[in-house]
Structure 1
Amino acid sequence: MQWHATEQQSQLADALERFMQRDYSFEQRRALAAGAGFSPQSWALLAELGITALLVPETFGGLGASVQDGLHALQTLAPALPLEPVVASSLLATHLLSGCSETAAARAWLPRMAEGRAIATPAHFEAEQGFATEQPQTQARHDGDGWLLHGAKSLVLQAQFADVLLVSATAGDGQMAWFAVEPGSSGVHLRAYPLLDGQRAANVTFDGVRLPAAARIDRPGQGVALYGAMRDVWLAALCAEAVGILQATLDATVTYLNTRQQFGQPIGRFQVLQHRAVRMWMELEQARSMALLAADVCTQGDAVHRTRLLAAAKARVGQACSYVSQQAVQLHGGMGMTDEMQVSHWFKRLTVIELWLHDSDSHLQRYANSLRAA
């Protein structure tokens, strides 16, 4: 099963390859991860390439491309491990706002996001519930003509660099609602920290944050569906990103096996190491097929069927992440875990991908439960 890229996808992929080679090398990214954790210059270059406008509807100055176009670009860009909010802002937040494009908040933010002048990030997870935040503990109460927001969010990606947080909360009617909250608003407090893979995240508290009525993104009764749609795209994005990194990890490992000398010959000539490399390739190809399936179904079809297939895809891709990354480190020897080796950074990101939005075991259980319920 192959991904037959369209002409537009191939052209963007070529541009992204040049960007990674010229403007986002491993050493540049490594220095950035150890420092600010975000490059305004790199973000501006990605905006010039169209990444920030890719999924924004044309009516808001975007390119109006499909989610599949975005996933193809993400897979291409994945080996560079960009610290900039490609997933959080250009994919997830854009998809969320596009789902309620008739609201004032969406009309205000989408044009700026398309131009790369604004960064948005979803703020949904909560410490006590983690990735299973189905009913937010964060509360939004009516306050005159506006809203009063109380609560806390965790693992908010790139929150310290964002211009707006898209916050989920339980409204007065007991239903999930979404609000556009600027981080500089009175009552908003951020505690930023790096994740295992170098990405920046933050815990954010909302202490009586006053919001105008126009800050609400969704229409009543729409909040749960918006989250479900964003979660499905997020799962497909994790799968696509993983495949891009898995391919790079395999390529680097095979190159190392063919150049590292022992007993007067490349270690890649030893049959036992060849078998391990072949198993890595098999894991990659199975993950690639499941990532293609996830990309195909993440925005289509019956919700129950879509959830089942995405659970299967995330489980299989997660297993490949664990196996390939661990084998790559072992085959590189002790140096495979050093910060100077790119494979160690891929290992960290693949580990996070396996765990993010629940690990493989959890998704296997979800898949089994859906079959029993059918």
Structure 2
Amino acid sequence: MLSPEVVMSSPLDRESKSIIENTLLRFIAESYEPSARHQRVRQGHVDCLLHWGLLAQLGVLGLPFEEVFGGLGGASADIADAVTVLAKGLIFEPFIESAVIAGTVLARGRDPEQRGHAVTQAIEGASVTAMLGGRSDVPDQLSFKKTQEGYRLSGNLSLIPFAEQADFWLLMAVDSDGTPAIFRVPRSETRAHVAGYRLMDGKPAADIRFDDTAIPLSTAWVQGEAAREAMDLASRRAVSAYCADAVGVMALLLEVTGEYLRTRVQFGVAIGTFQALQHRYADMHMGLVQAQAITRELAGRVDAATSGDHAWLCFAASSVVERAAKLVGQEAIQMHGGMGVTDELIVSHCNARLVVLTRLIRAWVDQSAASGS
């Protein structure tokens, strides 16, 4: 049974939330108009950092960071609300991966001076950080050993979003005793085998292998129990944010499909008047509502350090959202007919994004469950 005392209230007032929402809606309308987005996709190579500087200017990148760092001090619930809005634009920028997941770990660095500098860079959009390791969905993780000169890293990682586009990597590794540590290294100066590719939704990812890679002592960002706690929170925020992303995409599909049912005419009437399609659309709506409810519940509890609800709530959210995403995505395609799978319609892009999101949610929820057990 849920414990109401662990629900975290938002530090942002209603006016601030409204300003953020309107800012994001305007950003999507101006920068992610569907035809313009489709044109970027057709070019083959998508610049996923095209609007990164603009997001920084709008203050969006500061949302996950506390005010002491110059951020907006948003809670996970505020982050989820922002992600839900951005999801309707199917944006390419790594807001979740860099600002939310990696940003959570950046803000918990052990050295105050290094931490302050890194977070300032993140808020200003001067750097992009990718989180490598920390997920338990892959059989191989990173291991490290300490030497006189620094550390040596070994291991394989798969499906790391924006790994090649990042300026810095946060590397989660464990030593022979199982003690965790997180290292912050410049990507361009770190020796690793990187195999990049593009995901179904057009975003970049990579598989990475470290073969006894040497890194300096100064790269140690946070170690021991502090590293474990930072990774636990980052994992929960990852699940929450990706679920919110899926909810936003599903909401867009409901809007697009509803409009299509009202305007597509067969046998002299709109197909939305057919009872069979009305029932199927109602099922889509119920799936979205259920996903919204569990995602909102999860987002409100992510930041509670003492909550015992984290593990099962992450599992519940992933299960409900994944089921709803499959239903909404497939039904939207079915109702649009053959056009639903073409690149010209936003429906196919939404469904591709949902497929990727369910994979990412599943990857992070394993770590969240492990940390809550």
The answer to whether the superposition gives a TM-score over 0.5 is: yes
Which residue in the other structure is 1:22 paired with?
30
Give, in angstroms, the shift of residue 102 of structure 1.
3.9
What is the CA–CA distance in structure 2 between the aligned matches of 1:47 and 1:290, rounded to whole Å?
30
Alignment CA distance shift 1:318-1:186 (3 Å): closer
CA distance, structure 2, for counterparts of residue 101 and residue 341 of structure 1? 48
Distance change in 2, residues 1:208/1:106 (3 Å):
farther
**Distance verdict in 2 for CA 1:226–1:342, change over 3 Å:** same
Structure 1 residues 101, 253: CA separation in 2 closer, same or farther (over 3 Å shift)? Answer: farther
User: Offset at 1:254?
Assistant: 0.7
Structure 2 distance, partners of 1:194, 1:74, is 22
Matched, 1:178 2:182: yes
Q: Is the 8 A contact 1:191 1:202 kept in 2?
A: yes
Residues 1:104 and 1:137: Cα distance change in structure 2 (over 3 Å): farther
Deviations 1:74-123 (A, max 9, x none): 11100111111111001111111113364554333111111000000101
Deviation at 1:303, TM superposition (A): 5.0
Q: Deviations over 1:202-255 (max 9, x none)?
A: 112223332222211113232322222111111111221111111110011010
Contact 1:33–1:199 under 8 Å retained in 2: no
User: 2:198 is matched with which residue?
Assistant: 194
8 Å Cα contact 1:101-1:107 kept in structure 2:
no
Structure 1 residue 357 corresponds to structure 2 residue 361? yes
Deviation at 1:50, TM superposition (A): 1.0
Listed as ranges, the matches of 1:136-147 within 5 Å are 137-147=141-151
User: Counterpart in 2 of 1:65?
Assistant: 74
For 1:281-296, list aligned pairs within 5 A: 281-296=285-300
Secondary structure of the 1:56 match is: coil
Aligned equivalents of 1:23, 1:92: Cα separation in 2: 24
> CA separation in 2, counterparts of 1:5 and 1:289?
21
User: For residue 89 of structure 1, what is the aligned residue in structure 2?
Assistant: 98
Q: TM-score, normalised by structure 1?
A: 0.88
1:117 and 2:132 are equivalent in the alignment: no
Query: 5+ unaligned residues in a row in structure 2: which ranges?
Result: 1-9
How far apart, CA to CA, are the structure 2 residues paired with 1:352 and 1:186? 28
Q: Percent identity between the aligned chains?
A: 31
Aligned residues: CA RMSD: 2.5
Answer yes or no: is the 8 Å Cα contact 1:187–1:208 preserved in 2. no
Larger RCO, structures 1/2 (Cα 8 Å, 6+ apart): 2
Say if 2:224 is the partner of 1:214.
no
Q: C-alpha offsets along residues 341-368 of structure 1, whole Å, 9 cap, x if unaligned?
A: 1011111111222232328xx98xx79x
The equivalent position to 1:42 in structure 2, one of 47, 51, 54, is: 51
Quote the offset at 1:150 in angstroms.
2.1
Out of 17, 23, 36, which is 1:9 matched to? 17
CA separation in 1, counterparts of 2:68 and 2:274?
58
- Structure 1 pair 33–175 and aligned structure 2 pair: CA distance change class (3 A): farther
Asked whether the 8 Å contact 2:247–2:291 carries over to 1, the reply is yes
Q: Which amino acid aligns with 2:20?
A: L
Aligned partner of 1:64: which letter? G
- 1:123, 1:154 within 8 Å by CA — same for their partners in 2? no
**Residues 354, 5 of structure 1: alpha-carbon distance in 2 compared, 3 angstrom cutoff:** farther
Compared with structure 1, are the counterparts of its residues 169 and 227 closer, same or farther at alpha carbon in structure 2 (3 Å cutoff)? same
**Judging changes above 3 Å, is the alpha-carbon distance between structure 1 residues 196 and 5 closer, same or farther for their aligned structure 2 residues?**
farther
- The secondary structure found in structure 2 opposite 1:357 is helix
The alignment's TM-score, normalised by the length of structure 2, stands at 0.89
Q: Secondary structure at the match of 1:177?
A: strand
After TM superposition, list the pairs within 5 Å mapping 1:96-107 onto structure 2: 96-100=105-109, 102=111, 105-107=114-116
CA contact (8 A) 1:103 1:217 kept: no
Q: Is the contact between residue 150 and residue 207 of structure 1 (CA under 8 Å) also seen in structure 2? A: yes
Secondary structure of 1:160's partner? Answer: coil
Q: Deviations over 1:284-308 (max 9, x none)?
A: 1111111110111112154542111
Which stretch has the larger CA shift, 25-34 or 310-319?
A: 25-34
Deviates most, 141-150 or 227-236: 141-150
Q: Find the residue that maps to 1:288 and give its secondary structure.
A: helix
For residue 230 of structure 1, what is the amino acid of its counterpart?
A
Letter in 1 for 2:166: A
TM-fit CA distance, 1:137: 3.6
2:244 match: 240
Name which of structure 1's ranges 104-113 and 305-314 shifts more when overlaid on structure 2. Answer: 104-113
Residues 1:303 and 1:209: Cα distance change in structure 2 (over 3 Å): farther
Cα 1:249–1:285 shift into 2, 3 Å: same
1:54 equivalent to 2:58? Answer no
Contact 2:96-2:242 within 8 A present in 1 as well: no
What letter matches 2:85 in structure 1? T
